[in-house]
Structure 1
Amino acid sequence: MTPSTPAQSGKFPGTVDAVIFDWAGTLVDFGSLAPTQIFVEAFAVFGLRITLEQARGPMGLSKRDHIRTLLADVGIQAQWVERFGRPSNDLDIDAVYHRFMPMQIAKVAEYSRPIPGAVETLRALRSQGIKIGSCSGYPRQVLDVLLPDAAVDGIAPDCVIAGDELPAGGRPGPYMALANVLALGASDVRRCIKVDDTVPGIEEGRNAGMWCVGLTLSGNEVGYSQSELASADPADVAARVARATEKLTQAGAHYVIESVADLPAIVAAIGARLARGETP
């Protein structure tokens, strides 16, 4: 995409106003492990076998939409028909969701630890007067458990929007990102940055008219825990990072980095582009 020039966009204030973060795989829960494992366990309750890779596929969507997407998978749907003698329907999506929720609530606090560098990055942004927003595919009930523990560790955005609390819906629509703009009083979506480790999260930011930064190594697309990463074959790590970079770039990310620890330099680069009159 060719950036806008000052002549094309008119006078434009060249500073970053707000950064809007995802949660799992972005600010907390290195590898986005909490939701992934619980999907596997929730489907097992209904006698369905899904892999961690399948569970990761729709990550970034609201959890009900995530379940809907998984049940639409040909192989998973075939298991459902074999077990229950009919295709799944909306009531079945509700049933899986209601089984998933208490399991997720019980486990999410175990995965609330900040991703290395997250606390320092938030501190650096605030020191520049940049507002801190956030949104998640997690429903509000799950976030209400996660947020207090994350805050104790230094992760406390100015705004938190949950995946189930907007009538218009969640990702890849722009609604949660735009709700942050309203809540934060950000002056212009073109001065906002969306940071996310999933394809729907990047699409959300693009649909909202924001700069978008994708995260690879810490997030869902690579999928390592920190302990797994420490013992992984470097060639496998590089291959996973390359695949994640390609997916997030194709989704529309303006920049792709390994983790939130690398974000301050990108915010500075975007600020410089804004100063030149460029827009997302």
Structure 2
Amino acid sequence: MTTTSPAPASTAAPASTALQQLETAAAVLFDFNGTLSADEDLLAAIYCDIAAESGIELTARSYESDFLGLSDPQIAAALAARARAVTPEQIADRMSEAYLAAVAQSPRIAAETCRLVRTLAGAGVPVAVVTGTYRRLVTGALQAAGIAEHVAAVIACEDVSAGKPSPEGFLTAARQLGVAADERVVVVEDSAPGRQAGEAAGMSVLMVGGSGLTLAEIGAALAV
């Protein structure tokens, strides 16, 4: 958290420090894909399969460079524009069906991450998910992982007029949780648009994933 300036803090910290930041927060707002759920590789594979079925060349590398950090409606629209023989709605339905089937068979929210969510909620720290994906994917994944009851709010792409880097989703989550949109609210993100959105909302931002900490590693610190 920032102590010398009113500007929001973007944090890269050891697991124990990050855990303390989350446990002392007024609320914790988790991004979903790639943050709460370790599923970016799954999404890339699904979108590559959909692209191939539609006659579009899309590799995991080009998915990462072109689409990582975008909302699923944006990705569906971009792929439909390239294919011109399939609608964004058809792509969204195909992706949702494949994703929900995959996480029902093998949840992508790690056990340590689930423990972290349960611990925060049990300690009275409100938890929300703010995501650019569809509500049905988030609720299905949370139920498959057994933590749906510990998440007080889900702000999905259907709930906002503008996705990240707009702060709308995070501000909406804070209102639903009944907390002030300030630095005592911690946003947990893995992408640049998400970081920008959290900072624009006036909240602290804890970056995870990539070459840094994962939420599973932060959750594992609970046992230390």
TM-score (norm 1): 0.61
Alpha carbons of structure 1 residues 120 and 147: separation in structure 2 relative to 1, 3 Å: closer
Measured after TM superposition, the shift of residue 201 of structure 1 is 1.6
The yes-or-no answer on 1:191 pairing with 2:178 is no
1:258 aligns with 2:213: yes
Instruction: Indicate the residue corresponding to 1:174 in structure 2.
Output: 167
1:125 pairs with 95, 115, 120, which one? 120
Quote how far apart the aligned CAs of 1:140 are.
2.4
Residues 223-251 of structure 1 show CA distances to partners (whole Å, capped at 9, x for unaligned) of xxxxxxxxxxxxxxxxxx2xxxxxxxxxx
Distance 1:98 1:68, change over 3 A: closer
CA positional deviation for 1:148:
2.5
**Which residue of the partner structure matches residue 51 of structure 1?**
59
What stretches of structure 1 of length at least 5 have no aligned partner? 6-14, 72-76, 81-87, 217-221, 223-240, 242-256, 267-280
What secondary structure, in the 3-state scheme, does the structure 2 residue paired with 1:190 have?
Answer: coil
Asked if structure 1 preserves the Cα contact closer than 8 Å seen for 2:28 and 2:128, the reply is yes
Q: CA deviation at 1:40?
A: 1.1
Q: CA deviation at 1:186?
A: 0.9
Evaluate the alpha carbon distance shift between residue 70 and residue 210 of structure 1 in structure 2; reply closer, same or farther with a 3 A threshold.
farther
Quick one: higher RCO (CA 8 Å, sep 6+), 1 or 2? 2
Alignment of 1:12-161 (within 5 A): 16-28=25-37, 30-57=38-65, 58-68=67-77, 80=82, 92=84, 95-109=86-100, 110-111=102-103, 112-150=107-145, 152=146, 156-161=150-155
Closer/same/farther in 2, CA of residues 107 and 156 from structure 1, 3 Å limit: farther
1:165 aligns with 2:159: yes
What's the offset of the Cα at 1:159?
A: 0.7
> Residue in 2 aligned with 1:3?
4
Structure 2: where are the runs of 5+ without partners?
7-23
Deviations 1:172-221 (A, max 9, x none): 100111111001001342211111122222122111111111112xxxxx
Aligned-CA RMSD value: 3.0
* Aligned residue pairs, count: 198
The two structures have a TM-score, normalised by structure 2, of: 0.75
% identity of equivalent residues: 23
Any idea what SS the aligned residue of 2:165 has?
A: coil
Change (3 A) 1:98 1:164: same
Deviations 1:104-148 (A, max 9, x none): 222223233322411221133234321101111212243343342
State the Cα distance separating 1:53 from its structure 2 match.
1.4
Q: Are the structure 2 counterparts of residues 132 and 186 from structure 1 closer, same or farther at C-alpha, using a change threshold of 3 Å?
A: same
Point out the structure with max Rg over C-alpha: 1
Q: Which of 194, 202, 207 matches 1:201?
A: 194
